Amino acid sequence: MKFPQPIPLRDIALQTNSEIIGDAAGSVTGLNEIHNVSEGDITFVDHPKYYSLALSSAATFIFINQKIDPPAGKTLLYNVDPFIAYNALATVLQPTLFSRSSVAASARIGTGTMVHPNAYIGENVVIGKNCIIYPNVTIYPYTVLGDNVIIHGNSTIGGDAFYYKGRGTHYDKMHTAGRVLIHDDVEIGSGCTIDAGVSADTVIGRGTKLDSQVHIGHDSTIGEHCIICAQVGIAGNVRVGNFVTLYGKSALSKNISVGDRAILLGSSASAKSLEGGKTYLGTPADEIHRAARQFAIVKMLPDLWDKLKKL
């Protein structure tokens, strides 16, 4: 998330009880987790495994639980628990909002948009023109919808990111400070769930169509004019290109990308990035001709085994 106006680093250090290591004169312009940072952002790292990733990232300011010399162009904020410091800052910058009415007073709804009974539209939601929001749809605070968007019954848009830190005996919840951004001409089927970003946006591109019971995880970006069939599951921080087709019950693991015009056939799954312009099959997903050959060989194995036993 980007701030409406820069915040002096000294104010953040004071608020989070952190020690500044490096140039204390700067101002922070945004807050993001490590996968989405840009210059001026503050992020956090609390495990040596990820120190190099954070310190070499685009982030200018970093909460860290070790006193080290900052790299050039970086300022560190030492804190014994960077997760708590980051979470506290996120909670202040984008607090959890509550509305006592089914359509919040701060929601902005465009002309020609129809909101059916029993739909909930939260605080600071923006909905464009000529949209249709069917019964029992839940749209969490801060969500933004473009024009001509259709959301069918029982879908939930903007639920909390599924992000927890294990503490050995329990899990601490990461405060969700991101949004869902849905562009023009998107249609979302019944019973879909789209999680807000941890601190950035979960994005659905223009003209994309979701069937029923699709889940899209936090910070993921779906391109334009994609077709996503029923029961597809997309994990957090996935990048899907334009004109991609994901057939029913297919799945994408976290932190991967799918190129433009790729096709993932039904019940296939991938934990690795997929090139565009190809069709994929299986688990783990492979290019269709290679996957089909593998399946054919596997089907032949019982007969081959019987022949071997007779030798």
Q: Which residues are identified as catalytic?
A: 218
DSSP conformation class of 49: G
Q: How is domain 108-286 classified at the architecture level of CATH?
A: 3 Solenoid (2.160)
State which amino acid sits at residue 97.
Answer: L
DSSP conformation class of 25: S
Q: What is the pLDDT of residue 295?
A: 83
Averaged pLDDT, groups of 10, the chain, 311 residues long: 95 97 95 93 95 96 96 96 96 93 97 98 98 98 98 98 95 97 98 96 98 98 98 98 98 98 98 98 95 88 87 80
Looking at 3.40.50.720, 3.40.1390.10, 2.60.120.10, 1.20.1250.10, the CATH number of the domain 2-93 comes to 3.40.1390.10
CA pair distance 185, 294, nearest whole angstrom: 40
Pairing of strands 2-8, 27-31: antiparallel
Residue 279 vs residues 104, 209, 211, 259: alpha-carbon distances, Å? 44, 19, 20, 11
Q: Domain map of the chain by residue range?
A: 2-93, 108-286
Nearest to 269 by CA among 241, 234, 239, 237: 234
Q: What is the pLDDT of residue 303?
A: 87
Q: What is the pLDDT of residue 249?
A: 98
Residue pair 75/24 in contact (Cβ under 8 Å)? The answer is yes
Q: What is the pLDDT of residue 304?
A: 87
Q: What is the pLDDT of residue 192?
A: 98
